[in-house]
Amino acid sequence: MATSGVIAHGQRVRPDDQAVLDEVCILIVITRDHVGSSRLGMEEENDSFEENTSTELARLAQETIAAQSGSSDIAQTRIRCQRVIDLYARGDIQDGQDYFHAALILLYGETVAHFELARTFARRSTELGDTRAWTVLAMSWDRLLLAQKKPQRFGTQIIKKDGIWSLGTIDATVNDNERALYGVPPLYVQRQRAEQLQRQENE
């Protein structure tokens, strides 16, 4: 039987449970840089320190990125995603940075709903002036399309089908100029990464 999957920082994920936790290596670096630039990991000044929403989202985003370096913990992923949804339902997500972090957390979710919200939050973040969110917008858009079994627009996701790593089908109407507007590398660069991954697996 033919099998398919996606890459999540070098790990395979079952497509049948829609855990589309795939990632291109450069975008892992991009998201780590974004997180690092937004003052994550704030230290508590005293034992009575209480997190506000912005600090909590920043911490959860940092935890999300850190989790990509090890084995995927679906339970913790679900907890983080649900926490974001709860904060949003309460109206606690307010500014561009909050929406950016919320989008980043949901980007690594496991359902179509997570990816849809990630794209919505990333778009809202850009509207509020956080330019870092453009890349997350492109990534979440591609993840959503793949989860819906449609061609991705930007080519940010490396997928595995029938034992071969590739970008899969790409929307031909999207060009590299548009990718650049979203902070995404040219398509040939991303294809080279897929080829490099395949070579590494064949060795």
pLDDT-derived band at 1 (thresholds 50, 70, 90) equals: very low
pLDDT attached to residue 143: 97
How far is Cα 148 from Cα 156, in angstroms, rounded to an integer? 16
Q: What is the pLDDT of residues 78-101, one digit of tens each?
A: 999 999 999 999 999 999 999 999
Q: In what helix (H) or strand (E) does residue 128 lie, and over which residues does it extend?
A: none
* Residues 6+ positions from 98 with CB-CB distance below 8 Å: 53, 54, 57, 92
Q: What is the reported pLDDT for 49?
A: 55
Per the structure block, which two tokens stand in for 5?
A: 């999957």
- pTM for this structure? 0.75
Q: Which of 149, 193, 156, 197 is nearest to 174 (CA)?
A: 156
Q: How does residue 179 score in pLDDT terms, banded at 50, 70 and 90?
A: very high
Within 13 Å, how many C-alpha atoms sit on residue 7's CB side?
Answer: 25
In angstroms and rounded to an integer, the radius of gyration of the C-alpha atoms of the chain is 17
